[in-house]
C-alpha cells in the first residue's frame, strides 16, 4: 500500500463536532474538511464502533485521503456509543435509521456542504448505508456498502438456512463489551454520568435476537430485499470471499434498477485497500471515481464499468490463514451472467457426476463435526479460515467426482437432497470441497439448512419421522478455479459445530438421492480487469504497549469425551500518539460439546476492555454463556465496570427462551 502525503487540498480536522438531533440528543462527529475548496459534497460513516479509539486506525488511512480530494468526511458515533449521548436499543433500529436521516439532512444544509451527501461503511456501516438509502433521504445521492447484507434474517450473523449461528452469541458478546465502554474523559466533563447511564441500559442483544427464530417482521425491518426498488441512490457494493457476507453483492447487482456496480475480492472482513488475503486494490481511487460521478457530476466512466467484477481464486491447499490468494480478476457486463451455465452433477452410489439414481446412505454425524469450518466471519486476522476438511469429511457422507478438467466455478452452487429423518427436527450442513491428488480437502463454499425450514423461514414445519422429503441447500456465492485433474466433493453432515447450534436430538438421516447444480463459467484466459494499486493517507502513529496475539485450538477431554474449541484474541494495547488515549482489549470464547449429546452444547464469551487517560483507568468485563435443554435456550450474562480498583457497576442478566423448531 502506497502512502500518499500530498493532496489537491490541505485537510483540517475537528475531533468533536456536535450534531444535535431534534430530540436534543447530541451526537459526536469527527470531521475532515478540505481547506479552500468551498462548499463540497460530504461522505458520512455512521457507526457504534467509537471513532476516538475503535475505528481510528482505519479512519486515518481513509478519510483524510478522500477529504484531500475535495470532500467533507464525517465519522459519527451513533447514539449511545463512543462520545455521543443517548442510549442504543438494538442494531439497525428505527431510531438509528431515523438519526442517520436527520444527520444527513443536517449535513446537507451546512455552509461547507454543497448539499450532496454520500454514505459509506463496512459491516454495520454497510448495513445501515443500504437501509438508509432505502428510506430515500433527499440529500443522499450515492452509497458505498462493504461486507453487508440484503437479508437480516437469512444472511447475517443470526441465522443461516434457518439454523441458529453461534455468532449470534459471539457477536452479541462483542457488542455487550463494545458499547458498554465510557466516553473519552478528555471530551466530556460528564463522562462518568454518561457511562453509568449507558451501563445500566446496555441491552444484551443475543436474548433479543433469539426471540425471533423465524423470519418475522423484526427481521423484515432493515432487509432491503423486501423492496430493492426503494433504493434509488447509486450503489457501489463491495465484498470478499474470505468474509461471511458473500451474497449481498450479486444480489444487489441483480436486483437494483438504478446505478449499481459490484466488486468481490479474496478478502476477509476489511476495507480492500488494506485487506488480506492479497491482492489489495486501490479502493480509495475507486471510491473517488464513484463519488466524483454521483456527488459532483464529473464524468469518470463508472457507468461503463462491468456490472460485476470478481476475483477468481486459484484452487489451493487448505490453510487456516492466507496472506495472498493467486488468481485473476474477471468481469461480467451483466449479472446474472448469460455465459455462466448450470452444470448438473448427480449424487449417487458411484459418487458425484456419475449415473445417479436411487441409493441409501445413512447419515448420523457426531456432534463435533464442523471443527474445521473456521470462523463464521473472519475479521481478527488470526487462524480463522477453514482448514483441511478431511477430519469433517470423515464424519460426513461424501460424494466425490472423477478427476476433472480445469473448472471455473462462479456463482452459488445448489445441492438438492432426497432424505428421511428419524426425528421431527434435524439439520444438514453441505460443503463443496476441492480434493487434491494426495487427499487434502479445501472448502470451496458451504451452506446449512434447518430441515423444518425446508418450505421457507416464516412458518417452520416439523418433519414426519420416516417420511421422505426433497430439499435444496443453496451454498454461498464463490469464484474458484478447480485445477486440472483434481476432484470435487459434496460433503453432507447432520451437525456443524461450532458454526451452528445443534438440534435438540441427534437425528439419523437416510439419504436416497440428490444432485449438484454447479455454476460453471467459460475458463478465463487471463485477467479481465485491473485495479490501480492501493493508496492511503499516512497511518496513525501509535506506541505499542502490549503486542497482539491470536490463539485458536481444539482440546479433547480424554476422561469426559468433551471436545472444546478455545479462541483467545488479544488485540494488544497501544497509546494513540495523536491525542494520548491508551486502549487495550482481549476477547475469549469457548465452545464445548460431547460428540454423542447435542444437549451438551455450551458456549461462553468474555471481553475485557481497558482505557487509560490522564491517570484515569477504566475497565469493563463483559461475560456471557449459553446452553440448552430439549425445550429451551438458557442465557446468562454479567457486565462489570471498574474505575481504577473500584468496581462502580455490576449487572447480571438471565433468560430462558423456548425453542421453536430449532
Handedness of CA 7, 263, 120, 43 (dihedral sign): positive
Specify whether the CB–CB gap between 399 and 351 falls below 8 A: yes
Specify whether the CB–CB gap between 496 and 370 falls below 8 A: yes
Per-residue pLDDT band at 103 (split at 50, 70, 90): very high
Specify whether the CB–CB gap between 579 and 15 falls below 8 A: yes
Residue 486, pLDDT > 90, answer yes
Q: What does the pLDDT read at residue 412?
A: 98
**What mean pLDDT is predicted for residues 43-53?**
97
Phi, psi of 475 (to 5 degrees): -85, 165
Per-residue pLDDT band at 2 (split at 50, 70, 90): very high
Specify whether the CB–CB gap between 532 and 451 falls below 8 A: no
**What mean pLDDT is predicted for residues 221-229?**
98
Q: What does the pLDDT read at residue 188?
A: 95
CA angle centred on 618, ends 616 and 623, rounded to 5°:
175
**Which three three-digit cell numbers place residue 213?**
427464530
Q: What does the pLDDT read at residue 5?
A: 97
Per-residue pLDDT band at 393 (split at 50, 70, 90): very high
pLDDT tens readout for residues 126-165: 999 999 999 999 999 999 999 999 999 999 999 999 999 9
Q: What does the pLDDT read at residue 622?
A: 97
Per-residue pLDDT band at 222 (split at 50, 70, 90): very high
Residue 474, pLDDT > 90, answer yes
Residue length, the chain?
662
pLDDT tens readout for residues 578-595: 999 999 999 999 999 999
Of 130, 134, 81, 140, residue with least CA distance to 106: 140
Going by DSSP bridges, is the β-strand pair 260-265/427-435 parallel, antiparallel, or unpaired? unpaired
Distance CA 96, CA 147 (A): 19
Residue 567, pLDDT > 90, answer yes
Q: What does the pLDDT read at residue 382?
A: 84
Compute the mean pLDDT over every residue in the chain, rounded to the nearest whole number: 97
Of 279, 281, 303, 280, residue with least CA distance to 290: 303
Render 356-413 in DSSP notation, one character per residue.
-----EEE---TTTTTTS--SS--SSSS-S---THHHHHTSEEEEPPP---EEEEE--
Distance CA 410, CA 249 (A): 13
Distance CA 289, CA 535 (A): 14
Specify whether the CB–CB gap between 170 and 145 falls below 8 A: no
pLDDT tens readout for residues 310-337: 999 999 999 999 999 999 999 999 999 9
**What mean pLDDT is predicted for residues 179-201?**
96
CA 47 vs CA 27, 55, 92, 127: distances in Å: 11, 9, 10, 10
**What mean pLDDT is predicted for residues 378-405?**
95
Q: What does the pLDDT read at residue 381?
A: 84
Of 49, 59, 75, residue with least CA distance to 179: 49
Per-residue pLDDT band at 64 (split at 50, 70, 90): very high
Residue 507, pLDDT > 90, answer yes
Distance CA 212, CA 502 (A): 17
CA 518 vs CA 390, 474, 567: distances in Å: 22, 11, 34
Render 161-221 in DSSP notation, one character per residue.
TTEEBTHHHHHHHHHHHHTTSPPPTTT-TTHHHHHHHHHHH---HHHHHHT--S--HHHHT
Residue 456, pLDDT > 90, answer yes
Residue 621, pLDDT > 90, answer yes
The residue written with cell numbers 430515500 in the block is 136
> Which of the 8 DSSP states describes residue 321?
-
Distance CA 566, CA 436 (A): 29
Distance CA 322, CA 318 (A): 9
pLDDT tens readout for residues 356-386: 999 999 999 999 999 999 999 998 888 999 9
Per-residue pLDDT band at 48 (split at 50, 70, 90): very high
Residue 482, pLDDT > 90, answer yes
CA angle centred on 210, ends 206 and 213, rounded to 5°:
150
Chain-centroid distance of CA 269 in Å reads 6
Specify whether the CB–CB gap between 278 and 240 falls below 8 A: no
Specify whether the CB–CB gap between 126 and 102 falls below 8 A: no
Of 264, 251, 262, 259, residue with least CA distance to 224: 251
Chain-centroid distance of CA 511 in Å reads 32
Give me the domains of the chain, ranges plus CATH numbers.
Answer: 8-152+233-332 (3.40.50.1820), 168-220+541-577+580-662 (no CATH), 341-521 (2.60.120.260)
pLDDT tens readout for residues 110-124: 999 999 999 999 999
Amino acid at each position: 500500500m502506497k502512502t500518499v502525503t500530498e493532496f489537491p487540498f490541505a485537510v483540517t480536522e475537528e475531533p468533536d463536532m456536535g450534531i444535535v438531533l431534534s430530540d436534543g440528543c447530541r451526537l459526536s462527529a469527527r470531521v475532515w474538511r478540505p481547506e479552500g475548496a468551498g462548499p463540497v459534497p460530504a461522505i458520512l460513516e455512521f457507526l457504534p464502533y467509537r471513532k476516538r479509539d475503535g475505528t481510528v486506525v482505519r479512519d486515518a488511512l481513509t478519510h483524510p485521503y478522500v477529504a484531500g480530494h475535495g470532500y467533507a468526511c464525517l465519522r459519527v458515533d451513533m447514539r449511545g456509543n463512543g462520545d455521543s449521548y443517548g442510549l442504543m436499543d438494538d442494531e439497525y433500529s428505527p431510531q438509528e435509521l431515523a438519526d442517520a436521516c436527520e444527520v444527513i439532512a443536517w449535513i446537507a444544509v451546512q455552509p461547507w456542504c454543497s448539499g450532496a451527501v454520500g454514505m459509506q461503511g463496512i459491516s454495520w456501516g454497510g448495513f445501515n448505508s443500504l437501509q438508509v438509502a432505502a428510506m430515500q433521504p433527499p440529500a443522499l445521492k450515492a452509497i458505498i456498502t462493504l461486507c453487508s447484507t440484503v437479508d437480516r434474517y437469512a444472511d447475517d450473523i443470526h441465522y443461516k438456512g434457518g439454523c441458529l449461528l453461534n455468532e449470534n452469541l459471539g457477536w452479541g458478546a462483542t457488542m455487550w463489551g463494545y458499547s458498554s465502554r465510557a466516553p473519552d474523559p478528555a471530551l466530556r466533563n460528564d463522562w462518568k454520568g454518561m457511562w453509568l447511564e449507558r451501563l445500566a441500559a446496555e441491552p444484551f442483544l443475543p436474548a433479543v435476537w433469539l426471540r425471533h427464530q423465524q423470519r418475522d417482521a423484526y427481521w423484515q425491518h432493515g432487509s432491503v430485499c423486501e423492496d430493492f426498488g426503494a433504493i434509488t441512490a447509486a450503489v457501489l457494493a463491495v465484498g470478499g470471499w474470505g468474509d461471511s457476507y458473500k451474497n449481498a453483492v450479486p444480489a444487489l447487482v441483480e436486483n437494483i434498477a438504478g446505478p449499481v456496480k459490484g466488486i468481490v475480492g479474496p478478502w476477509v472482513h476489511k476495507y480492500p485497500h488494506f485487506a488480506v488475503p492479497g491482492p489489495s486494490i486501490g479502493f480509495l481511487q475507486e471510491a473517488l471515481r464513484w463519488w466524483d460521478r454521483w456527488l459532483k457530476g464529473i464524468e469518470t466512466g463508472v457507468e461503463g464499468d462491468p456490472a460485476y467484477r470478481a476475483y477468481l481464486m486459484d484452487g489451493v491447499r487448505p490453510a487456516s490463514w492466507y496472506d495472498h490468494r493467486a488468481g485473476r480478476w474477471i468481469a461480467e457486463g451483466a449479472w446474472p451472467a448469460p455465459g455462466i451455465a448450470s452444470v448438473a452433477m448427480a449424487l449417487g452410489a458411484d459418487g458425484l457426476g456419475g449415473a445417479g439414481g436411487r441409493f441409501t446412505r445413512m447419515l448420523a454425524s457426531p456432534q463435533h463435526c464442523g471443527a474445521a469450518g473456521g470462523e463464521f466471519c473472519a475479521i481478527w486476522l488470526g487462524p480463522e479460515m477453514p482448514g483441511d476438511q478431511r477430519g469433517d469429511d470423515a464424519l460426513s457422507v461424501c460424494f466425490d467426482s472423477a478427476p476433472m478438467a480445469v473448472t471455473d466455478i462462479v456463482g452459488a452452487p445448489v445441492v438438492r437432497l432426497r432424505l428421511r429423518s428419524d426425528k421431527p427436527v434435524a439439520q444438514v450442513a453441505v460443503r463443496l470441497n476441492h480434493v487434491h491428488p494426495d487427499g487434502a480437502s479445501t472448502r470451496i463454499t458451504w451452506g446449512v439448512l434447518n430441515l423444518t425450514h425446508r418450505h421457507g423461514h416464516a412458518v417452520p414445519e416439523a418433519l414426519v419421522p420416516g417420511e421422505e422429503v426433497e430439499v435444496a441447500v443453496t451454498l454461498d456465492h464463490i469464484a474458484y478455479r478447480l485445477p486440472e485433474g483434481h476432484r470435487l466433493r459434496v460433503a453432507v453432515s447432520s451437525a456443524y459445530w461450532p458454526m451452528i447450534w445443534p438440534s435438540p436430538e441427534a437425528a439419523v438421516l437416510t439419504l436416497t438421492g440428490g444432485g449438484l447444480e454447479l455454476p460453471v463459467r467459460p475458463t478465463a484466459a487471463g485477467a479481465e480487469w485491473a485495479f490501480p494499486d492501493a493508496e492511503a493517507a499516512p497511518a496513525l502513529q501509535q506506541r505499542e504497549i502490549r503486542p497482539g496475539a491470536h490463539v485458536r485450538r481444539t482440546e479433547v477431554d480424554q476422561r469426559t469425551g468433551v471436545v472444546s474449541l478455545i479462541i483467545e484474541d488479544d488485540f494488544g494495547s497501544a497509546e494513540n500518539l495523536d491525542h494520548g488515549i491508551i486502549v487495550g482489549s482481549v476477547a475469549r470464547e469457548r465452545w464445548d460439546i460431547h460428540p454423542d449429546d447435542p444437549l451438551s452444547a455450551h458456549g461462553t464469551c468474555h471481553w475485557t476492555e481497558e482505557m487509560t487517560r490522564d491517570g484515569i483507568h477504566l475497565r469493563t468485563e463483559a461475560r456471557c454463556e449459553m446452553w440448552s435443554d430439549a425445550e429451551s435456550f438458557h442465557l446468562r450474562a454479567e457486565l462489570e465496570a471498574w474505575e481504577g480498583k473500584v468496581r462502580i457497576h455490576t449487572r447480571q442478566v438471565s433468560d430462558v427462551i423456548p425453542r421453536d423448531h430449532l
